[in-house]
Structure 1
Amino acid sequence: MSFDPANSDSGSPRPGPVFFDRPELDLILRVYGRMVAAGEWRDYAMVGHAEVAEFAAFRRSGDAPAIRIEKRPALRLKQGQWAVIGEGGLVLKRGRDLAQVLRVFDSRRFVVVK
């Protein structure tokens, strides 16, 4: 048997992790700033995986995330690549446009239950 590099998995380039670009991060951090100013959130974390980028906001540093904002490019043409997920995994909003999805945090439409 001969080795065929065209059929080898090690020769194919692998995509890097999914992450937020600058304009997306700007929109997310604006919402984060508003929620910090309102006293709802105090900390955040970001992580990029192979299939999803995630922004998590916390009420306190040691708690589970109060909210997660996910970017899943694989769902771009189906449900939309953006999702806002609340505590317990409840999807609060999903869509194709980040600005539209982040409207779930408008003060009149979103109330944090403690």
Structure 2
Amino acid sequence: MNMQTPSGYSQGSAPAQVAFDRRELSVILSVYGRMVAAGEWRDYGISCLRDMAVFSVFRRTAEHPLYRIEKRPRLRSKQGQYAVVGMDGQILKRGHDLKTVLRVLERKLIRVVD
């Protein structure tokens, strides 16, 4: 008898690549939509790699990403699997809860009104 594993899974039942689930994407796209409405962001890209998933945010398509929202399941028990990384590679916020980590981006929406 020949047993085949489902596509996307290896013999150890771990996914072949890391991806954002529907709940995570809903939270990320909620923040993204508010920033687009404010005129701060214009484009995004999603990368699903073997050890991490990345949601990159761009001001213009041809530029380097302004921010990267990363999911690294290996860091789940240590520093937290979610991180927001700035353009220069500096980690702005890291943690276990995605909504809490994304608050660092929402501060950009708060402006002084004259």
CA shift digits 1:15-64 (9 cap, x unpaired): 32100000000000001001101111100000100000000000001000
Q: Does 1:28 align with 2:28?
A: yes
Q: What is the Cα-based RMSD across aligned positions, in Å?
A: 2.1
Partner of 1:49: 49
Give, in whole Å, the separation in 1 of the partners of 2:95 and 2:49: 20
| Aligned equivalents of 2:29, 2:87: Cα separation in 1 | 19
Distance 1:61 1:109, change over 3 A: closer
Q: Secondary structure of 2:88's match? A: helix
**Tell me, which stretches of 5 or more residues in structure 1 are unaligned?**
1-9
Q: Which moved more, 1:54-63 or 1:10-19?
A: 10-19
Deviation of residue 77 (structure 1)? 0.3
Query: Which of structures 1 and 2 has the bigger CA Rg?
Result: 1
Which AA in structure 2 matches 1:107? R
Provide closer, same or farther for how the CA distance between residues 16 and 87 of structure 1 changes in structure 2, counting only shifts above 3 A. same
TM-score (norm 1): 0.81
Tell me the matched-pair count. 102
CA distance in 2, matches of 1:52, 1:106: 23
Identity %: 55
Contact 2:46/2:54 (8 A) holds in 1: yes
- TM-score when normalising by structure 2: 0.81
